[in-house]
Each structure stands twice: as structure tokens, then as C-alpha cells.
A and B are shown apart, each in its own frame.
Chain A
Amino acid sequence: MSDVFKLMGVYAKTTAKSWFQYRVDAVLKSLAVFLREATGIIVIWFTLLKFDQLNGWDIYEMLFLFSLLFLTYGIMIIFFTGLRDFGRTVRDGSFDRFLLRPRGLLFQIIFVNSDWFAAIGHGGLGITLFLISAGKVGIQWNLAHAVYYLFAVAGGVLIQGAVFLVLAALNIYLLETNSLKELLYWNMRKFAGYPISIFHKAIQFIMIYVMPFAFVNYFPAQYLLRKSDMAQYPEIFLYLTPAVGIGMYLLAYLFWRFSIRYYKSSGN
């Protein structure tokens, strides 16, 4: 086990060294990601300066809702950069190299490369928004709420990780999955910063049952905020995030295992 941690250390050192080859670029990159992702927030901020609230949600509650989305993505991308870029790994033959090393495949994919720019950009934004909003949305921060929050974040990380894992596994069957990822993940994510109750029923259905972003931020935020628009959803949804995360991740992992077997029997 200590051997595994040692290797993780060496991987991290290697990544950091590569990173420090381009210091200035790295700082600017994180800033650019931060600002790009903040676009939606600046817009909602200006909008709520005028309108005060969106379907009962005031600006701080909105920021709290957004913060969960960015925080979970920021944590997720530390571990799943390799899966985000897995299509390239398969196409350029690096995946064969992973197969030739006496280590777990998922372990290698996860630790070989982490996109710290995205992690700092997204995660930094998530933390900033949390710090701005957490004290102003009327949450009593007791131990129970803190534990719930940690579980919710972990669940949100697992949900998005599961989606990346499935999309990565699909690369083994399809040559190009970027468009699919764009359709399923990035486009749906654009809705996820807002209370889903304002959208058409069909979009709500997708956000709950197909690409369950609602469990990443909307329902966890509702547990802590209890806004009136929660009335239209079953109470149980407030508690499901960790279960949805674990369930989705397990299924995704089984599909991944199956796909690796397929890769070894079919080549690519």
C-alpha cells in the first residue's frame, strides 16, 4: 500500500514539474477558466440586481446552487482528467502502454495526468461562491448539515465521474465521442446552475432521470435551503445524492470493466 502512495507521489511530482515548465501560462490559464466559468454567474448577478429573485431564489441562494456545481467538478477533474481525455489516449496508442505496466489501469489513467488548471479554475470558483453565499442563505451550520454537505459533494463528484467513465469506455467502441459528450454532458450542464423548476417538464425529466445533474446541486441545495419550489418533487430526492452517485459509479465501473475486456479481445 505504501508503495501505491509512493507512486502517486512520483506521478504528482512529474505532473507538477511539467506544469512548472510553463508557469505564467498556468496562472493565466486558471484565471481564464475561472472567468469563463464565472460568465453565467456574472450574468445572473446582474440579472438579480434588477429582479431580486428567480422563482423565489435570491442571489445568494443562486450562488450557493452554483457553488456545488463548480466545487464538485473541480474535485472530480483532479481525478478524472485522464478519463476526460481518454479518447485521445486510445487513439494515439498510449492506452496500450498502460496495459504494458504492472499497475491497475484505472489507477494509471487517473494519476498519470491531472488538469490542475481546470481544477483550480472550477474548484476555486466553487469555493469562492461557497464562501460568499454560505453565511447568507440562512443555513444553520451544525454538524449534521456539514456531514450532509460532505456526502452531497462526494455524491456529486461520483455522479459526474460516472458520466465521464461511461463516456471514456464508449471511446473503445466509437472513434470519436466528443460530440456525444457535448450533447449529454456540457449542454445539460448549462441548465444545471439554475433551479430546475423554472424549466420545461421534459428538461426537468432529463435533469433528474437521464443526466442527473439535479442530484449534483439542486436537491442537495434544497435540503439545506428548503425553497418552496421543492414541493413539486418527492421529499426522498433530498437524500438520494450519495446513493445515486454510488449506484451510477458502480454501474459505470462495471461497464468500464466489460469494455476493457472487449478492447483486449477486439483491438482498436
Chain B
Amino acid sequence: MRIAPYFAYARKCFLGRSAYRFDHLMSILSTCMQFFIFWGIYRALYGANSEIDGITFSMVTTNFILSMGLGAVFCPDDYFLPNKIWDGSIATELLRPISFKGRMIAENLGNAAFDLLFRFLPVLVIALLTVGVSAPASPVMLLLFLFSAFLGYGVLWTISFAVQMTSFWLINIWSLLTIKNVFVNVLSGSMIPLWFMPEWMNGILNFTPFSSIYFTPVQIYLGQLSYGEIAFKCGVQVLWIAGIYLIGNFLWKKGQQKLVVQGG
């Protein structure tokens, strides 16, 4: 497989983003506001307490800034396939001599790279200057955090990938994608730190992929996990990626057959 054309797609997306400066400024602002809302809520909830259940307020702040910051980067284009099915261009797209899925990954990574530099970092800097963020537990943990965050992106990407595949049958999947995002937002820990979820809820969450997206990397960053636990949790991330991808890929093959049979 030649990598050059995929790199070109990623580059195109990266550069293309710089055209919408005002919108981009808005999205940074939006992430910051989201952060300050939850920061404000938890400051009020903590009141005079320095820690609750062994979790300090600084850890909560760090959880929010990391998961919301990563959330700003983890935005795979949910409409990549649905839009192409809606307007019928999927038929010609599939004739191109490159992998459609490869191109999907490449474009999403191009966007993610842009957001990492121009959304995550500015938001992080703003948070550092205003409310402060905990330093990583150690340099090694920082590296492991980055590795696990990358796997977290993989989990989120495969979820989006699998849901998008349903558009072969449903065509308009705005509602389905919106509902998917509700699940991701509520259950991934980006709006409520999973430490504070009720026990029974965490029991359920262990059987879902959502906590693998942001919460595992955040725990590593804060030094809450031993090396053994890190290995286990990263293994869980890989399993989720593989499992969901297989489902998505099955739908992808079925969907293409349907496309061939019905001629779009």
C-alpha cells in the first residue's frame, strides 16, 4: 500500500481548516466555556473541601481540561460516509484506486492534527493561565498518557465508523449520530468525572467502550494506575478497537453489496 496519497489527503484537510478562522476561534471559545462551566460547578460542589473520596479539586480540573481538550481533537467527521451516500457520490468514490477507509482515516487524522495544535494547545494554555492544571505524574506517565490517548481516539473513531455504516440502509442518520454523541458525552467522563458515577453505573460502564476514550488516558496522566493496570486498560482499548472495527467492517462489506445490487 502506498502511503503518499493518504498523506496528501491528510495534508489537504489540515491546510483546508485554516480557511475558516472565525469559526475556529468560536470553537476554541466554545470549548473554553464548556470547561469553565464544569469548573464552576465543581468549585461550588467542592466548596471548602480540599478532597472528596480521595479526589482533589485539582484532579477534577485536570480531568475536565484533558478530556474536553481531547474532545476538541477527537472529532472524526461523522458525516464522511452519510454525506456521500446522500448525494450519490459514493459510487464514484469507490471507483478510485485507493482505499476508501484509508482515505477516511487519513482525512480524520489530518483534522485531528490541526485540532491538536490549534484547539487543544490554546485551550490548555488558557486553562493553565487561569485555573491551573496538575503536572503529569511523571515523564513516563506523560508518554503512556499520549499512547493511551491515541488508542482512545481509535476507540472513538471505530464507534463513529460503525455507526456511519448504517447509512447504507438508513441514508439519513442525523438522529442516530446525535444519539450516539449523547452516549459518548455522558458516559465517557468528559462531563462528569467517572470517579463520581454511582457504583452500579461504573459496573455497567465497564462493559462499554466509553470509559476507554478519555478516562483511561486521564487516569494514567494523574498517576492513578500501576503499570500492570495500565497494560490491562490499554489492552481493553485495543480489544474495543478491534471488536468494533470488525462489526463496522462487516456492515461496510454488506453495505457495498447492497450498493452494487441496487445501483446506489
Contacts and interface: CB of A to CB of B under 8 A. Distances in A.
A touching B, CB within 8 angstroms: yes
Interface of A: 25, 28-29, 31-33, 35-36, 38-40, 42-43, 46-47, 49-51, 54-55, 179, 182-183, 187, 190-191, 194, 198-200, 203
Interface string B185-202: 110000110001110010
A100 B22 CA distance: 35
Interface stretch (B84-92, B153-161, B173-181, B247-255): B173-181
Contacts, number: 80
A38 B182 contact: yes
Contacts of A203: 36, 40
Interface stretch (B23-31, B113-121, B212-220): B23-31
A39 B182 contact: yes
Given A32-B175, A38-B182, A187 B192 contact: no
Given A190-B37, A191-B37, A36 B181 contact: yes
B33 interface: yes
DSSP class of A's interface residues: helix, strand, loop or mixed? helix
Contacts of B41: 47, 54, 194, 198
B172 interface: yes
B45 A35 contact: no
Interface in B32-59: 33-34, 36-37, 40-41, 43-45
Contacts of A54: 41, 44-45
A181 to B, nearest CB: 10
A242 B174 CA distance: 37
Given A36-B178, A36-B179, A198-B44, 15 more contacts: A32-B174, A36-B181, A39-B182, A39-B185, A39-B191, A43-B192, A46-B186, A46-B198, A51-B45, A51-B196, A55-B44, A198-B40, A198-B41, A199-B37, A199-B40
B201 A46 contact: yes
B254 to A, nearest CB: 21
Given A46-B197, A183-B29, A32 B192 contact: no
B175 A31 contact: yes
17 contacts: A25-B175, A28-B175, A29-B175, A36-B182, A39-B182, A46-B197, A46-B198, A50-B197, A54-B44, A55-B44, A182-B30, A187-B33, A190-B33, A191-B37, A194-B37, A198-B43, A199-B37
Given A39-B185, A39-B186, A54-B41, A32 B178 contact: yes
A46 B199 CA distance: 11
A35 B178 contact: yes
A36 to B, nearest CB: 5
B52 to A, nearest CB: 8
A35 B180 CA distance: 10
Given A25-B175, A32-B174, A187 B36 contact: no
B30 A187 contact: yes
Interface of B: 22-23, 26, 29-30, 33-34, 36-37, 40-41, 43-45, 172, 174-176, 178-179, 181-182, 185-186, 191-192, 196-198, 201
B40 A200 contact: yes
B198 A50 contact: yes
Contacts of B22: 179
B176 A28 contact: yes
Contacts of A191: 33, 37
B198 to A, nearest CB: 5
Contacts of B23: 179
A47 B179 contact: no
A211 to B, nearest CB: 12
A121 to B, nearest CB: 10
Contact of B186 (A28, A29, A42, A198): A42
Contacts of B174: 29, 32
- Most B CB contacts (10 A, CB to CB) among A46, A49, A203 go to A46
Contacts of B172: 25
Contact of B179 (A35, A46, A182, A199): A35
Contacts of A36: 178-179, 181-182
A43 B182 contact: no
Contacts of B176: 28, 32
Contact of A187 (B29, B45, B197, B198): B29
B98 to A, nearest CB: 33
A148 to B, nearest CB: 27
A31 B179 CA distance: 9
Contacts of A35: 178-179, 182
